[in-house]
C-alpha cells in the first residue's frame, strides 16, 4: 500500500493510535515507549504486515527537522536556569568536546575494523556522536528517576544541547566525503560561524520573543502556543538562513523563554509538552517506515561491533576526559557514560549522506539504525538498575522538584494569603507579568468592586484589589509581598 492524499490521514491516525496504546503497556515489560513507536513503524512498513511503501529520505529528513525543533524547544522550555547554572560548564563540555571525542574514537575504530575509509568513518562517528534528546527526556521523565547531586540536569542539558555539534560534524564530514579535496582545516571557520551565530541569535530571539509574547494582545489563550510555534520556526529558519546553527538557536531561545515571566506560561508549557510527545511518535513512526529490515540483517555484525565500542569504550572515554577538570565522582561519571542514549536523532542525521549521494550512505543508515535500536533497548531499559547499582539514585520521597513540576502541578501549594492593594500602591496600573512574581507563587483570584476575576499574566492591577495569593511555601509568600510592595491584610 502506498501513502496517498486520500488515505494518509486514515493510516496516520491508526498508526498514532496503535503507538499510543502499545506505549501505554510498554513499561510492564521494562521497554522504553519509543521502541514501540519505532516497531509500529517497521511493522507497518514495506516489509511489515502493513505493507506501506515508504522510501523517501527527503520527506523523512523534513519530518525529522520539524520534530527536532519541537523536541529541543520543549526541552529548552523545561530547563531551569537555577538548576543548570551549577553544572553549566560540565554540560557544555560534554555537548561539545564530548561529542567531538566520541566521533573521533568511533571514526578510528570503524576505519580500522571495517572497509570504510577514514572520512567515511568520520561521517559515521559524527552521526552517532550525540545523545538523543527525545530518548533521554522521555525515558528519564517517564521513569520518574530521582538522581543524586546534579546528575539529572547534567544529562538533560547535555542531551538538549549536543545535537548542534553532531549536526555540524555530520554536515561537515558529509561534505568532505563528497569533496575530499576540501580538507579538515576548512571546517574550522565553518564551526565557529555556526556556533557563534547560533548562540547569539538563539539568545537574542529568546529575549525578543519574550517581549513579543507579553506585549501582543491576543483574543484567545489558545493562540499563544500557536504564536510560540511561529516564533520557534522563525528562530530556526532565520538562523539557518544566515549560516548559523538553527538547532542551537532554537534550544537557547527556549531556555531564555522558559526562565522568564510569560503570559499564559502554563498553557504554553502544557501545549509544548504535548507537541513534543506527538513529534516523538511521528518521528519514530516515520523512521520505522523508512527502514527495510532485510537490509539491516547484513550489517548486524558491524553494527554490534560499533555499538559495543560506542557504549563500552568511546562514550566512557569521552565523558571521563570531558569531566577531567570538574569535581565529579567516578560513579557519576560512569552513570553519565551509561546514559549515552542514541535514538531518532542519529537516524535523521543519517539521511543527510543519503541525499548527498554518498556511496555507502545506505549502509551507514542501516548501521546507524541498528546502533540506535540497540542503544535504546540496552541502555534505556537499564537506567534504573544501573543507577541503583552505582548508588546514584535517590528515594522518591526525597526527589527534588524542578520549576516545571511547580508550574504544572496545581495541587502542591501549601500557603495562602489575602492582600489588599492600597490606593497609592506603586504596582497599580501594572500587569501581573510585570511584577516579577516568584515561580512557585500564583495570584489565583482577584476581588474587585464585588466582582471576582480569574487573572492571567496580562491582568492589570487596580487600587483596592483584593488578591488571593497561593504559594508553595512561606518564602514564596514573602517574595510575593516584596513584589507587591504591600503588607498582608491582618
Q: DSSP states of 118-136 as a string? A: HHHHHHHHHHT-SPPHHHH
pLDDT at 385: 87
Please say whether the beta carbons of 256 and 207 come within 8 A.
yes
Please say whether the beta carbons of 468 and 416 come within 8 A.
yes
9-38 pLDDT, tens per residue? 787 788 888 877 766 655 554 456 677 788
pLDDT at 420: 85
- The mean pLDDT of 359-371, rounded to a whole number, is 91
Largest Cα–Cα separation, the chain: 80
CA 136/CA 376 separation, integer angstroms = 9
Q: Has residue 457 got a pLDDT over 90? A: no
Closest CA to 34 of 303, 372, 352, 337: 372
Q: How sure is the predictor about 125, in pLDDT bands with cuts at 50, 70 and 90?
A: very high
The residue extents of the domains of the chain are 8-398, 413-484
- The mean pLDDT of 251-279, rounded to a whole number, is 88
* Range in 206-210, 391-395, 428-432, 459-463 the model is least confident about: 391-395
Rounded (10°) CA dihedral 98, 285, 267, 473: -50
Please say whether the beta carbons of 26 and 38 come within 8 A.
no
Q: How sure is the predictor about 239, in pLDDT bands with cuts at 50, 70 and 90?
A: very high
pLDDT at 120: 92
- The mean pLDDT of 101-127, rounded to a whole number, is 93
CA 264/CA 269 separation, integer angstroms = 9
| CATH architecture observed for domain 413-484 | 2-Layer Sandwich (3.30)
Q: What is the pTM of this model?
A: 0.76
Question: Which residues are CB-neighbours of 309 under 8 A, at least 6 positions away?
Answer: 105, 106, 109
Q: How sure is the predictor about 439, in pLDDT bands with cuts at 50, 70 and 90?
A: confident
Burial class of residue 204 in the structure, from the number of CB atoms within 10 Å of its CB (0-12 exposed, 13-18 middle, 19+ buried): middle
Question: Which residues are CB-neighbours of 296 under 8 A, at least 6 positions away?
Answer: 303, 366, 369, 370
User: What percentage of the chain has pLDDT greater than the value 70?
Assistant: 88
* Range in 62-71, 139-148, 358-367, 444-453 the model is least confident about: 139-148
* Range in 144-158, 294-308, 321-335, 449-463 the model is least confident about: 144-158
Please say whether the beta carbons of 337 and 319 come within 8 A.
yes
pLDDT at 402: 46
Local structure of residue 53 (DSSP, 8 states):
B
- For 236, the grid coordinates are 530556526
- Helix, strand, or coil (residue 265): helix
Q: What is the mean pLDDT of the chain?
A: 83
pLDDT at 399: 44
CA 485/CA 435 separation, integer angstroms = 10
Between these two residues, 80 and 174, which has the higher pLDDT value? 174
Closest CA to 346 of 401, 403, 303, 383: 303
Please say whether the beta carbons of 111 and 316 come within 8 A.
no
CB atoms within 10 A of CB 13: 10
- Residue indicated by cell numbers 540483517: 297
196-218 pLDDT, tens per residue? 999 999 999 999 999 999 888 88
Exposure b/e, 308-330, CB count within 10 A at least 16 = b: ebbbeebbbebbbebbeeeebee
pLDDT at 405: 47
CA 478/CA 188 separation, integer angstroms = 51
CA 439/CA 480 separation, integer angstroms = 10
* Range in 61-70, 295-304, 381-390 the model is least confident about: 381-390
Q: Has residue 306 got a pLDDT over 90? A: yes
* 445 beta partners: 468
Residue 224 CA, distance from chain mean position: 21
Closest CA to 199 of 264, 242, 263, 245: 245
pLDDT at 398: 43
- The mean pLDDT of 106-129, rounded to a whole number, is 92
pLDDT at 145: 63
Q: How sure is the predictor about 404, in pLDDT bands with cuts at 50, 70 and 90?
A: very low
- Helix, strand, or coil (residue 431): strand
Burial class of residue 408 in the structure, from the number of CB atoms within 10 Å of its CB (0-12 exposed, 13-18 middle, 19+ buried): middle
Q: How far from each other are the two terminal CA atoms of the chain, in whole angstroms?
A: 72
pLDDT at 6: 67
CB atoms within 10 A of CB 180: 11
CA 42/CA 50 separation, integer angstroms = 9
Q: What ranges in 216-245 are assigned the alpha helix state H?
A: 223-241
* Range in 59-63, 181-185, 305-309 the model is least confident about: 181-185
Fold of 8-398: Na+/H+ antiporter like fold (1.20.1530)
Closest CA to 311 of 321, 319, 322, 301: 319
H/E/C letters for each residue in 340-355?
A: CCCCHHHHHHCHHHHH
pLDDT at 407: 46
Amino acid at each position: 500500500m502506498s501513502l496517498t492524499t486520500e488515505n494518509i490521514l486514515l493510516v496516520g491516525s491508526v498508526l498514532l493510535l496503535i503507538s499510543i496504546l502499545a506505549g501505554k503497556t510498554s513499561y510492564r515489560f521494562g521497554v522504553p515507549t519509543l521502541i514501540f513507536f519505532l516497531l509500529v513503524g517497521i511493522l507497518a512498513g514495506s516489509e511489515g504486515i502493513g505493507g506501506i511503501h515508504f522510501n523517501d529520505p527527503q520527506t523523512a529528513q523534513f519530518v525529522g527537522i520539524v520534530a527536532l525543533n519541537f523536541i529541543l524547544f520543549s526541552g529548552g522550555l523545561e530547563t531551569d536556569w537555577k538548576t543548570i547554572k551549577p553544572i553549566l560548564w560540565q554540560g557544555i563540555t560534554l555537548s561539545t568536546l564530548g561529542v567531538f571525542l566520541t566521533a573521533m574514537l568511533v571514526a578510528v575504530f570503524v576505519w580500522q575494523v571495517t572497509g570504510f575509509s577514514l572520512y567515511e568513518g568520520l561521517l559515521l562517528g559524527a552521526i552517532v556522536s550525540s545523545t538523543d534528546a527525545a530518548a533521554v527526556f522521555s525515558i528519564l521523565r517517564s521513569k520518574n528517576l530521582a538522581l543524586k547531586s546534579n546528575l539529572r540536569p547534567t544529562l538533560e542539558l547535555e542531551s538538549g544541547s549536543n545535537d548542534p555539534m553532531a549536526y555540524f560534524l555530520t554536515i561537515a564530514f558529509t561534505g568532505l566525503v563528497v569533496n575530499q579535496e576540501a580538507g579538515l582545516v576548512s571546517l574550522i571557520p565553518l564551526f565557529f560561524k555556526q556556533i557563534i551565530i547560533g548562540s547569539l541569535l538563539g539568545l537574542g530571539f529568546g529575549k525578543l520573543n519574550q517581549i513579543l509574547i507579553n506585549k501582543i494582545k491576543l483574543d484567545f489563550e489558545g493562540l499563544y502556543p500557536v504564536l510560540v510555534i511561529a516564533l520557534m520556526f522563525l528562530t530556526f529558519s532565520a538562523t539557518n538562513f544566515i549560516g548559523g546553527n538553527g538547532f542551537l538557536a532554537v534550544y537557547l531561545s527556549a531556555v531564555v523563554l522558559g526562565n522568564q515571566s510569560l503570559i499564559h506560561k502554563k498553557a504554553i508549557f502544557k501545549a509544548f509538552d504535548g507537541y513534543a510527545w506527538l513529534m516523538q511518535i511521528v518521528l519514530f513512526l516515520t523512521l520505522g517506515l523508512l527502514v527495510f529490515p532485510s537490509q539491516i540483517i547484513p550489517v548486524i555484525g558491524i553494527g554490534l561491533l560499533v555499538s559495543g565500542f560506542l557504549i563500552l569504550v568511546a562514550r566512557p572515554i569521552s565523558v571521563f576526559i570531558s569531566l577531567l577538570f570538574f569535581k565529579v565522582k567516578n560513579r557519576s561519571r560512569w552513570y553519565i557514560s551509561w546514559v549515552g542514549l542514541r535514538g531518532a536523532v542519529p537516524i535523521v542525521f543519517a539521511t543527510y549522506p543519503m541525499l548527498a549521494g554518498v556511496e555507502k550512505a545506505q549502509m551507514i543508515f542501516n548501521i546507524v539504525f541498528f546502533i540506535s535500536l540497540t542503544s535504546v533497548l540496552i541502555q534505556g531499559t537499564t537506567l534504573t538498575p544501573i543507577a541503583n547499582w552505582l548508588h546514584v539514585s535517590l528515594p522518591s520521597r526525597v526527589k527534588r522538584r524542578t520549576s516545571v513540576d511547580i508550574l504544572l502541578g496545581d495541587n502542591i501549594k501549601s500557603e495562602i494569603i489575602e492582600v489588599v492593594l492600597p490606593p497609592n500602591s506603586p504596582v497599580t496600573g501594572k500587569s501581573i507579568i510585570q511584577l516579577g512574581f516568584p515561580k512557585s507563587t500564583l495570584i489565583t483570584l482577584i476581588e474587585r468592586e464585588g466582582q471576582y476575576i480569574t487573572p492571567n499574566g496580562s491582568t492589570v492591577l487596580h487600587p483596592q484589589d483584593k488578591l488571593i495569593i497561593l504559594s508553595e511555601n512561606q518564602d514564596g509568600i514573602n517574595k510575593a509581598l516584596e513584589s507587591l510592595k504591600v503588607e498582608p491584610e491582618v
